[in-house]
Amino acid sequence: MIIEHLPSIFLALMGLSVLIYAMLDGYDLGVGILLPMDDRQQRDQMIASIGPFWDANETWLVLAIGILLIAFPSAYSLVLNELYIPVALMLIGLILRGVSFDFRAKAVTHFQEMWDILFKVGSLMAATTQGYCLGMYVMGFASSWQAYCFALLSAAGVTAAYAYIGGAWLVLKTEGEVQRYAAKWSRRAGWLAAIGIGAICIINPIISPMVAERWLTLPGAILLLPIPLMSVLLIFVVDRYLRRVPHEQDFGCWIPFSGVATLFLLCLVGLAYSYFPYVVPNRITAIEAASASESLMFVFYGVALVFPVIVAYTIFSYWMFKGKSTALKYW
């Protein structure tokens, strides 16, 4: 019966929400990180590219946290207790981004640069704290120097990955100098993200016996092998494309964003393969953390109604604003 599988279903939905959030809000955080402070016109074009989307992208984070709270309340309590300070800093960063985005439109020329700086700072705060939270989560919130070092490595890797996909988004949505600027910095961020992913892949099985068993023993190692091979191929293809931007008639401008988004998907699949069925790695499983079956069934009906609506308006908004972004204008 479906009730027996509800904990796994909600765990999968939460993972999917996190993935979509990382792809969508990840690119607009990346755009904020890449803002050049010496060129207002480029900043205007970059912010125009995320204008119709950035606020709605955060819906997926709300959905993921909502599922964690309602479907896995004991895991939610554990996560919030262990990550209270970095989560608070992340929220401050997101609030700072929202305020800066709106106020830059209303500020006189003298103050607009200040709000752009704060938008960049907020983007960096949100990206680094999310990476730190991910690292501590993967480490099961262990209180050791190894866990803190891993979390800092994760913070740097996630920040680079967001800049990577942010630059890829700008290659897709802009032209001219902004596109060239984005390709240059996206390529550099891609190198850092690749180094971070490689380092985490080396460190993870060393510090976690469960991960080592799943990654390095048969038949698990064979099942896992396509993920690193495809990741290396995607990074190579995206790097070669970005190296030659701009292409004639903007050929294949979708390739970098699609490639980096697929890379994000592969990373999540690797994470799920490593730790399923744990909600918090090495601490609590989905079944142990799940709410009562009656509560899960009630929530399931709600999610079954809400989830398609969120997907539909997300697709609709991206379809409505497809193509290159237009000049930024305020009335």
**Amino acid sitting at position 126:** A
Q: Positive or negative CA dihedral for 13, 15, 18, 19?
A: negative
Do residues 139 and 150 make contact, with C-beta atoms less than 8 angstroms apart? yes
pLDDT of 328 > 60? The answer is no
Sign, CA dihedral 218-224-225-228, equals: negative
- Percentage above 90 pLDDT, the chain: 47
Q: Are 270 and 280 in contact (CB under 8 A)?
A: no
Name, of 54-63, 133-142, 184-193, 278-287, the range with top average pLDDT.
Answer: 184-193
Q: Give me the pLDDT at residue 109, please.
A: 66
Instruction: Give the pLDDT confidence score for residue 329 in this predicted structure.
Output: 58
Q: What is the pLDDT of residue 108?
A: 65
Q: What is the pLDDT of residue 55?
A: 81
Instruction: Specify the DSSP element, H or E, that contains 150.
Output: helix 145-173
User: Averaged over 64-70, what is the pLDDT?
Assistant: 90
Q: What number does CATH give the domain 2-320?
A: 1.20.1630
> Distance between CA 140 and CA 133 in Å, rounded?
11
Q: Where are the domains of the chain?
A: 2-320
Determine the 3-state secondary structure of 158 from DSSP: helix
Query: What's phi and psi for 192, nearest 5 deg?
Result: -65, -40
pLDDT digits (tens, 9 = 90+) for 6-15: 888 999 999 9
- Residues in the chain, how many? 331
Task: Give the mean model confidence (pLDDT) for residues 84-96.
Answer: 94
Check whether 213 has a pLDDT greater than 80. yes
Positive or negative CA dihedral for 134, 139, 142, 144? negative
Give the contacts of 70 (CB within 8 A, at least 6 positions apart).
291, 295, 299
d(CA 27, CA 289): 32
Whether pLDDT at 274 is above 90: no
Specify the pLDDT at position 216: 81
pLDDT at 11: 92
Secondary structure E strands in the chain: 278-280, 284-285
The pairing of strands 284-285 and 278-280 is antiparallel
Q: Packing angle between helix 145-173 and helix 255-275, nearest 10 degrees?
A: 150
Confidence of residue 36 (pLDDT cuts 50, 70, 90): very high
Through-space distance between the first and last CA atoms of the chain, rounded to whole angstroms: 56
